[in-house]
Structure 1
């Protein structure tokens, strides 16, 4: 597989013919997008399912994460074919940030990045969910990955415990100042049962360019997280930040549902710019 600097492929989806064109829906830019980005989590899906998913809904995937340490256990030939499939659909793929944390802990980050490039990944995630990483060290890791021609996704937040608002805001600034292309906001920091840190979400969205922030959705393998809870958080983020909010951790079978939520076409009328409100439905929550 070709390695080196990621060269964005142009896949124009704005001219795709869609059925029922007479029904007005909120506009969404086609790929390549700069707003309303969606990251799909790939937990090692088979190549057949991956190919089917990309054919049917690849237009709604902007990035793909081979989650956590999955790429360590996948046969190299299979992983290469997987990454090639993503390339064919102009979807940059990257390994999960927890793998990068392990590499940083073992002082093997540079060789890890070299292999990421060699394998054909187009990006890397720099997180410190489990690792205590100084701001300067996080910035250095981001700079190193950028120097290898990779897209860099910084991530902010802990999986266990909570950082205060000022620390989170400062960490986002560190990532962006160091050259990160986007910053993921760890779901565990922002959403826990009925505790939604809405003031922090509002502060982040008003402090930084919203197109550089991607909000992670809770994953259903986490304790206490259900699909309906994840759906409710997706709905809340779209209602509060709009159709073009960046969303991460979408599963392959949630792509269309997530797009329905973005367009306010998902069975409720809470999205102020959504399909139902455009058609004159009132907000049933008011």
Structure 2
């Protein structure tokens, strides 16, 4: 048997759920990876291995301004070649707002080759008018705009009514998705408690106000959080702040190829088969 034939896994082994390709065609189950400082070779390895299963890559916090320009352009070019939307961290946009340099920020984002931005106010205060204006300006410039709800301070809570209002306004202004803040740690912020466990009562309130919205992305850096949210919403839930090294494992979980979500897989009638 030729080597090429050995690579042709049965479709039910590649996707026991039988739903993943259809979900991705519908824009469901998006994954956002946070890059906290990968070099070009590490970034290339990440894209080669997990690129087909990643929709967004965010250069975390304000790290984008610290890169050598040539290196940064090469990373962004590689992401774009694989259809991955790249964006600087929302904290950098907040710094631009704070410093009064938002137009320069957007000019530079576009000239460098970023294809998206994250509009957030996790550290600063930003009124509704300014937030809407920035979203619309990003869309006008041809960028994919993600927004973020929630504060970064330890112990920050989700207000379900405020989240529902913010999401409505952001989406009306042209945002693609609204991300629920959990930082890169996923501990003691937003939906998660001091141990990184999901606050079920808060999640229930959010669902009551927002519904099981396909326009929300949940930051969930920990495997247990990813599994909890999938068991609540299904494999088509949007998940963010995923570590590059975890992106492939997350895709396996979405398909029912990990024990945490093994029940997502199709159950064959073994009487139909003979070994």
In 2: Cα distance, 1:163 partner to 1:65 partner: 23
Aligned residue number for residue 151 of structure 1:
144
Q: Whose helix fraction is larger, Structure 1's or Structure 2's?
A: 2
Render the CA deviation track for 1:197-227: whole Å, top value 9, x for unaligned.
Answer: 221342365174x1x2111114xxxxxxxxx
TM-score between the two structures when normalised by the length of structure 2: 0.83
The 5-angstrom pairing of residues 84-123 of structure 1 reads: 84-123=77-116
How far apart, CA to CA, are the structure 2 residues paired with 1:206 and 1:163? 15
Secondary structure of the residue aligned to 1:268 is: helix
Paired residue for 1:215, among 218, 229, 237? 218
Question: Whole-Å Cα distance in 2 between the matches of residues 93 and 32 of structure 1?
Answer: 20
- The change in CA–CA distance for 1:233 and 1:122 in structure 2 (over 3 A counts) is same
- Which structure would you say has the larger Rg? 2
Unaligned runs of 5+ in 1: 1-16, 219-229, 281-286
RMSD over aligned CA atoms reads 2.1
Matched, 1:278 2:267: yes
Provide the rounded CA distance (Å) in 1 between the counterparts of 2:158 and 2:235. Answer: 28
Q: How many residues align?
A: 248
Task: Specify the alignment match of 1:185 in structure 2.
Answer: 180
Specify the alignment match of 1:248 in structure 2: 240
- 1:68 aligned counterpart, secondary structure: coil
Post-superposition offset of 1:19: 2.1
CA drift at 1:265: 2.5
Equivalent residues of 1:33, 1:62 under 8 A apart: no
Residues 56-111 of structure 1 show CA distances to partners (whole Å, capped at 9, x for unaligned) of 22111111111111111110110011101111111110100000011111111111
Residue 211 of structure 2 is aligned to residue 206 of structure 1? yes
Q: Is 1:155–1:183's contact at 8 Å kept on the other side of the alignment?
A: yes
Q: Offset of 1:195 from its aligned partner? A: 5.1
Matched, 1:21 2:14: no
Distance 1:121 1:268, change over 3 A: closer
SS of alignment partner, residue 11 of structure 2 = coil
The alignment partner of 1:39 has SS state of strand
Map of 1:123-162 to 2, 5 A cutoff? 123-160=116-153, 161-162=156-157
SS in 2 for 1:155: strand
Task: For 1:101 and 1:18, locate their aligned partners in 2 and report how far apart those are by CA, in whole Å.
Answer: 47
Q: What whole-Å deviation, never above 9, does each CA across 1:140-163 have from its counterpart, x for those lacking one?
A: 111111111111001111112224
Cα distance change on mapping 1:122 and 1:204 into 2, 3 Å: farther
Tell me what 2:164 maps to: 169
Q: Deviations over 1:10-53 (max 9, x none)?
A: xxxxxxx7524353611212766611101111112111111122
Q: 1: CA distance between counterparts of 2:174 and 2:145? A: 8
Q: Is the 8 A contact 1:123 1:151 kept in 2?
A: yes
Conserved in 2, the CA contact under 8 Å of 1:69 and 1:96? yes
